[in-house]
Chain A
Amino acid sequence: MAAGADPGRAACVRAALGEAFGIPGLVLGASFLGFGSLVRESGMSLWAGLATSLTSWALPGQVAMVELWAAGSSLVAIVLAVCLTNARLMPMTVVLLPWLGRPGAPRWRLYVAAQFVAVTSWANSMQRLPDVPEPHRLAWFAVFAGGLFGVSVAATAAGYALAGLVPKAVTLALVFLNPVYFMLIFVTDLRNRAKSLALAAGAVLGPLFHLVHPDWGLLATGLAAGTAAFLADRAWRRREAHRG
């Protein structure tokens, strides 16, 4: 879409649909396909799996929830882990909001739009919204994120159904989709020092703490490895500033 001339609302909506059912939708669909299979192989019902895609719609927290539930964690440990996993949505949403709000527009629209901020919808919107004329930005986001949401819910059901139909080896590969997906997202982030430290420390402590305490191990991993990475990055920065 060219910036400048207003292509009209219909053209913006078409562009958003094309985006939702293009590469971003395909990748997210594959990931939710894996999530649906994970739900089934973890012994959770289709309805619970669909409900979490419908009501949470933030895959990292959903995977953490299913994995901890399958491991027999307590409800408090599950909810706290999901809470920490998804805390990133707050700064992400704050950064996206100026692109969605218009002076004088009702505020409730933003509270609805916020439910559709997740990693894929956020990253692509941050990239595309500057090229969308201001009057159509919220419509573009609603159609784009709504399309991704629909793909995610359908893929959750499809993944659940597939896991019962395909050979065992394929089911295993579907369940394997999510760890691989997150790992590939991580390795693209390795240029940021604080994030890299957090990833490395978390990857080492995660399995160890799980062996020590499967119920609270994951939360302890996040808090210990995350805080250590944060402090190490700050100390590093101070040293760089001194050398200045």
Chain B
Amino acid sequence: MAEPHAWVWGAVLGGAAVTYLWRFLAVLLAGRIDPEGALFDWVGCVAYALLAGLVARMILLPIGPLAEVPLGARLAAVVVAASIFFLTRRNMLLGLGAGTGALVLLTSGLIG
């Protein structure tokens, strides 16, 4: 693996350019494309799969400091977050608070 810091600005600005590209194309082509057509169904599936893959990897195989947290604690925190989220009729703030709170409680004893 190469030294990553070399292309941080390339990643930041390249990412911004391809992100605006979609918004720009939407205004340019509005009325001439069908946002509910097969092409965008496929695009939506690819984006969802990519993001789900990233989230699963961040939870199961974290790269940064989360790697120090035992897998059991990460999974328990995710289960707590989802449980509170559904018990509170999909209250996002409470779900997030419960999940991160659980992770703090589970790790504060293990990691100084």
Task: Tell me whether A194 and B65 are in contact (CB under 8 A).
Answer: no
B29 to chain A: closest CB distance in Å?
8
Task: Tell me whether B19 and A82 are in contact (CB under 8 A).
Answer: yes
Task: Tell me whether B104 and A169 are in contact (CB under 8 A).
Answer: yes
Minimal Cβ-Cβ distance residue in A for B18? A83
Task: Tell me whether A206 and B103 are in contact (CB under 8 A).
Answer: no
A81 to chain B: closest CB distance in Å?
7
Chain A, interface SS category: helix
Number of interface residues of B (CB under 8 A): 79
When distances are taken between beta carbons in the complex, the residues of chain B under 8 Å from A38 are 64
B49 adjacent to chain A (CB < 8 Å): yes
A116 to chain B: closest CB distance in Å?
9
When distances are taken between beta carbons in the complex, the residues of chain B under 8 Å from A195 are 44-45, 48
A24 to chain B: closest CB distance in Å?
10
Assembled-state Cα–Cα distance A207/B71 (Å): 14
Produce 1/0 per residue, B79-111, CB < 8 A to A: 001100110001011011001110110011001
When distances are taken between beta carbons in the complex, the residues of chain B under 8 Å from A201 are 49, 52
Taking a contact as CB atoms closer than 8 A, the residue among B21, B23, B48, B61 that contacts A226 in the complex is: B48
Knowing A69-B4, A114-B23, A206-B56, the reply to whether A51 touches B95 (Cβ < 8 A) is no
When distances are taken between beta carbons in the complex, the residues of chain B under 8 Å from A188 are 90
Chain B residues within 8 Å of A, Cβ to Cβ: 1-2, 4-5, 7-16, 18-27, 29-30, 33, 35-36, 38, 40-61, 63-66, 68-69, 74, 77-78, 81-82, 85-86, 90, 92-93, 95-96, 99-101, 103-104, 107-108, 111-112
Chain A residues within 8 Å of B, Cβ to Cβ: 23, 26-27, 30-31, 38, 41-45, 48, 51-52, 55-58, 60-65, 67-75, 78-79, 81-95, 97, 107, 110-111, 114-115, 117, 167-184, 186-189, 194-195, 197-207, 209-211, 217-219, 221-227, 229-230, 233-234
A63-B54, A85-B47 are known; give 9 further A-B pairs, CB within 8 A. Answer: A51-B12, A78-B11, A89-B23, A91-B44, A172-B107, A176-B66, A180-B95, A183-B82, A206-B56
